[in-house]
Amino acid sequence: MTVTLSAKLGSDVLTVTAFDGKQVALVSPRPFAPGYRLALDVAFQTPALLELKTLGSKKRADGAFDVRARPMTLRKDVREKLFAHFGGA
């Protein structure tokens, strides 16, 4: 199961594929350099802001990019929603 994210970067739509408490894995239509800051609106029942700093991108066979990022700020309620969705602590 994935959470659909709408990036505040024009019309790009990113998909969260994993969250382990320290890193977020995303699929994106474009790459992001390490250190790039993303501010994403998470499409939960109540939208939530997720602020990330990218660690790197890797191109996939389908032309999309796997992006690894870490939270810069992560409110407790957003962390709990991510853990509830992906499982975890």
Digit-by-digit pLDDT tens for the chain (89 residues) are 455 555 555 677 888 888 998 999 999 999 999 999 998 888 777 778 889 999 999 999 999 999 999 999 998 988 888 888 887 66
pLDDT at 9: 57
The rounded distance, in Å, linking the Cα atoms of 79 and 82 is: 5
The rounded distance, in Å, linking the Cα atoms of 34 and 52 is: 11
Which 8-state DSSP code applies to residue 29?
A: S
The rounded distance, in Å, linking the Cα atoms of 7 and 2 is: 15
Beta-strand relationship, 48-59 and 24-28: unpaired
Superfamily of domain 3-86, CATH level 4 = predicted glycosyltransferase like domains (2.40.10.220)
pLDDT at 1: 46
Nearest CA to 87 out of 21, 4, 37 is that of 21
